[in-house]
Structure 1
Amino acid sequence: MTLTLTGGAGRNAGPILHGPEIDAVADALRAGHYGHGPLTEHFEHALAAFLGVADVVTVASGTTAMHLALLAAGVGPKHEVIVPSMTFCACVQAIVATGARPRFVEVDPATLCVRADDVLAAATPATAAVLPVLFSGRAVDLTGIQQQLDERGITIVEDAAQAFGSDLAGRLIGTNPKLMTCFSFGPTKNLTCGEGGAIVPRTAEEADLLRRLRTVGIAQSLAQRAEATSYEVAGFGLRAHLSSLSAAIGLVQLARFDDARTRRRQLWAAYAAALAGTPDVQLTDVDIAHTVPFNLVVQVPNRDRVFHRMRQAGIGVGVHYPPNHLQPAFARWSTSLPATEQIGRQVISLPFHPSLNSGNLQQVVTALRDALTA
């Protein structure tokens, strides 16, 4: 039996809980190993098997995944990283944490994802990486410029925080061996661990480096350290592992991921049908046949007025996201991005979570239409 959170139209987002998560966490608590442990490694193996890849390195969060992936790619203080401004600020903070500079670029107004031409045009001799954001779970196809990026030594680190389970032309996100892919398993993601993240490395050497980075620089594995009187700190590292408690939740979620994928796609399709023909509403194109959607974002005129009217009506709308190049923390790297700035004034996220029923959905759509015509 699937357990879902209450809240209906008054809640913007929430996870699908299947029920066994509670017992799984209790078992992990009784086992007495709360940090990185056998359950964490079991979850890593299960993720790798699900994706069909050689290895997956789990970490404490999606933000941590991006930070460590950029470090593993050699990104540092002399570098730039190309990133869309239309994303959660965690992406930019991950870049700044390496000492590198974010180089903000526009997104396609229809998909809210970066375009290959814009990425290539933004590249400079200082560019070390590009961080495409798979907005709402939609794949970003940079294969057409992959060779040019390779020739310039530019690594693609995918921010697939919202895209677990999505695919590009039938190939699961995370399975392209030329990319490092970062997932988030936060509270409202397609697959949740409560908190957590993961990186799909390109090589075994990269996997080893990522494991050192997440374990305060220690070169030996947990099992190796248990059988030795010492260990080697091989370089810089953080305490950034995924806990066994989080892994216990993730294992349950992964075993039932098909249910979550189906429910999210059905909900998005129901919204699309209900909103069809509504004047002044532009639905973000997520390519639903290939995407497990994380949220449902539309663009509307007079967004602030619509937002407040819907909140007053008890509808849990949100804004994803305020453009980062306009944020005070990133002002030194700001640039003119007129398309992003217009999108930033128009985007509004409608409630999108598993406890929504058809009545709740109609309540949201009616409130949106009322707010637009008020």
Structure 2
Amino acid sequence: MKSPSRPAVQRNASPYLHGGEAAAVAQVLESGQYGHSDVTEAFEREVAAYLDVPEVVAVESGTAALHLALLAAGIGNGDEVVVPSLTFAASVQAIVAAGARPRFAEIDPDTLCVTGSSVLDALTPDTRAVMPVLYGGRAVDLTDVAPLLAGRGITVVEDAAQAFGSWHGDRKVGAFGASGTLTCFSFGPIKNLTCGQGGGIVPRTPEEADKARGLRMLGIRQSQADRIRSTTYSVDAFGLRYPMSALNAAIGRTQLAHFDQIEAKRPHLWRTYRDALAGIDGVALVDVDVERSVPFNCVVRVRGRDAVFADLQSRGIGVGVHYPPNHLQAAFAPWHRPLPVTEQTAAQIMSLPFHPEMTEQDVTFVVHALRQAVAR
């Protein structure tokens, strides 16, 4: 049995590099063009090809992607966006940044995702968008309520920060723009595909892509290359500074070239946990639909969670809690509504160490410690 001080289990998650990232960044440094450049645009094309979509708009973070997607969809002051409370605060802050109001929705305790019925229960006359969060990489199926949402002019903006590489039916998550869904990815440090920092929007139309590109660059629609060759440029509308740098795009391109390894490693690690956790009384694994997902994490519901959490932390095992409910946060108090399922579930969930550096032996070690902690 290996020591609990090993980094693989000390960390809940960790960036995973394939080895060519440093050289790719060095090449950009030598070029002298560190901001948005042809490297960024090459990354956009390669991600679009991977997803089998016409276009992808790369931005500086997943939060920026959500913010710009809402703005590009026309969501703003006075509008309401349905979102699960059990998500990272970035989902909610993007809504607030757009000038809209979050309307918190319940989750399914088995998947930690919203359902069609929980979305319908949260709708009001002011609802203009729904933001399903693809928790753990699992696709959220809202096809049963899609006609109703479309009929009311409600846009679906997917927070797919954790779901790059996952499938929804026979298409990749992100490939449903034609069905009226805007999808946003995060390429942050510990995501399935990392750029070091970054995000991406899969727009529904060329017009929406053009709007998102203007928004990400201070309302300037000309490319950097065009601006360099010109004596002027035009600022056509409101905009923010959300571009993805060439340095980050270079990391992402290297990551994407090796993404088949991640597509194999993460599901294998999750299945190893699933098998090892079977039969532990008081522990239930949260389902990520592993046959169609590239899992971002491994989350369990644990009886006596807080004591078990403290026990494992004291042994140097990097467990975490993802996430404290947002409807209980002071910043979002104006939009509080009772969510008993979310509150009960949030008091039970715990994230186990989960990243591609881990081995089957690491999983065995973590699960053995978990079994002992639960028994105590």
**Normalised TM-score (structure 1):** 0.97
* AA matched with 2:80: E
Q: Secondary structure of 2:176's partner?
A: coil
Match of 1:3 in 2: none
Please point out which of 262, 265, 280 is paired with 1:263: 265
Matches of 2:291 and 2:361, distance apart in 1: 25
Q: Give me the whole-angstrom Cα distance separating, in 1, the residues matched to 2:173 and 2:8.
A: 30
Which residue of structure 2 lines up, in the alignment, with residue 273 of structure 1? 275
1:44-79 CA deviation, whole Å, 9 max, x = no partner? 010111111110000000000000000111111111
State whether structure 2 residue 147 is matched by structure 1 residue 131.
no
**Equivalent residue, structure 2, for 1:229:** 231
Q: Is residue 351 from structure 1 mapped to residue 350 from structure 2 by the alignment?
A: no
Deviations along 1:93-114, whole A, 9 cap, x unmatched? 0000011110001000000000
Matched residues in 1 for 2:228 and 2:205: separation?
26
Structure 1 runs (4+) greater than 3 angstroms displaced: none
1:292-307 correspondence runs (5 A): 292-307=294-309
Q: Report the Cα distance in structure 2 between the residues aligned to 1:66 and 1:341, rounded to whole angstroms.
A: 25
Q: Distance in 2 between matches of 1:133 and 1:275?
A: 25
For residue 248 of structure 1, what is the amino acid of its counterpart?
Answer: A
Aligned to 1:81: 81
Report the 3-state secondary structure (helix = DSSP H, G, I; strand = E; otherwise coil) of the residue aligned with 1:143: coil
Mapped pair 1:157 → 2:157: yes
Alpha-carbon RMSD? 0.9
**Residue of structure 2 equivalent to 1:27:** 27
Partner of 2:68: 68
Q: Distance in 2 between matches of 1:143 and 1:226?
A: 46
Question: What's the counterpart of residue 241 of structure 2?
Answer: 239
TM alignment of 1:112-123, pairs within 5 A: 112-123=112-123
Aligned to 1:142: 142
CA distance in 1, matches of 2:302, 2:349: 7
> Structure 2: any 5+ residue segments left out of the alignment?
1-5
Q: Deviations over 1:290-321 (max 9, x none)?
A: 00000000010111111110000110000000
Aligned mates of 1:133, 1:8 — CA distance in 2: 27
TM-score by length of 2: 0.97
In 1, the alpha carbon distance for the partners of 2:28 and 2:47 equals: 19
Letter aligned with residue 191 of structure 1: L
Task: Tell me how far 1:117 sits from its aligned partner.
Answer: 1.2
Q: Percent identity?
A: 58
Q: Is the 8 A contact 1:167 1:173 kept in 2?
A: yes
Q: Does the CA contact (< 8 Å) of 1:61 and 1:197 recur in 2?
A: yes
5 Å matches for 1:184-195?
A: 184-195=186-197
Is 1:107–1:115's contact at 8 Å kept on the other side of the alignment? yes
Q: Give 1:7 deviation, angstroms.
A: 1.2
Question: How far has the Cα of 1:225 moved from its partner?
Answer: 1.6
